[in-house]
Amino acid sequence: MARQDGTQKDQAKDGKARAKADGKQAKASPKSRPPDQPDQPDQPDQPDQPPQPPRLSRAAYEKELFRLQGELVKLQEWVRVEGARMVVVFEGRDAAGKGGTIKRVTQYLNPRVARIAALPAPTEREQSQWYFQRYIAQLPAAGEIVLFDRSWYNRAGVEHVMGFCTKEEYHRFLHQCPIFERLLVEDGILLRKYWFSVSDEEQQHRFQGRLNDPMRRWKLSPMDLESITRWEDYSRAKDEMFVHTDIPEAPWYVVESADKRRARINMISHLLSTVTYHDVQQRPLTLPPRPKSQGYVRAPRDMQTYVPDHAAELVT
């Protein structure tokens, strides 16, 4: 049975206990159900969990994604013209679909306006700084959008679980993070935080896919493999993180990502719904006529180095 983030494991145990008790009662009184009532299907171990919706078809996904990407371009232009500043934090389980969603968000955006911040492990100098300092350097200026592929929440997750920070540093982060984010919001930054949730079964399936695919094997790190054996430790860390940092000024939004297509559509749609942007009036542009030649003569081709025509080998 797949496990979900947070306290859902406890809910699953409660569900199993109730199911076991119901089974004993059924055996004790086999005639308790009316004879004309058909057998009911087995209930899931997690009764509070809604049933998984059907996977989104590719045709419906691509059509809606393209429409939403058009809206993202409008949002980008509004941010640029109005001088707004936007930060979008992508967090969640390994292989939960954060990178794929970021790729679709930025596909048609101007990289000078919307950029991705994916910081490596801190250097020795950065480790001596205030923890938030290196992330502050990545914050947007007027007219910019920054998408954090992982963020300052590393301290509440991987650093805490793997022992890369002390208990004092961890608790200091939980105290300071809400203050830090309130300061960002008070200064006018549009801060949005998304947690991508996936079950352990689906994560295992995606890890196996990466392991078997040489084009994606680079995505699978020793830290990812370690997360398999520390699933519940990460669940507890996520729950504690939400307790301290799910604040009214900067709430967490959970994205169910068992279906990657559905997760991308839902996340982008929600992001757009949280901003009161509008279509910016574009200055009309026309192509000017090309001027007549003024006598320029191109240099001989043999004076320049051209790349070989590898594509010619593909033509049959």
pLDDT digits (tens, 9 = 90+) for 14-35: 454 444 444 444 444 443 444 4
Instruction: Examine the pLDDT at 52 and tell me if it is beyond 60.
Output: yes
- Rounded to the nearest 10 degrees, the angle between the axes of helix 58-82 and helix 98-106 is 60
Lowest-pLDDT choice from 5-19, 60-74, 87-101, 199-213: 5-19
- The C-alpha torsion from 268 through 271 and 275 to 281, rounded to 10°, is -20
| Percent over 70 (pLDDT), the chain | 84
Residue 254 lies in a domain: yes
Where would I find the H helices in the chain?
Answer: 8-28, 58-82, 98-106, 124-127, 133-136, 158-161, 167-186, 200-212, 222-229, 231-245, 260-273
Counted domains in the chain: 1
66: helix, strand or coil:
helix
Domain of residue 157 covers: 58-124+144-273
Is residue 252 one of the residues assigned to a domain?
yes
Indicate whether 187 belongs to any domain: yes
- Per the listing, tokens 């308790």 go with 32
Predicted local confidence at residue 30, as pLDDT: 40
Please check whether residue 285 lies inside any domain of the structure. no
Within-domain flag for 166: yes
Sheet holding 190-197, edge to edge: 114-117, 144-149, 85-92, 190-197, 252-256
Q: How far, in whole angstroms, is CA 305 from its chain's centroid?
A: 43
With a cut of 60, say whether residue 202 has pLDDT above it: yes
Assign residue 82 the CATH number of its domain.
3.40.50.300
Contact 254, 195 (CB under 8 A): yes
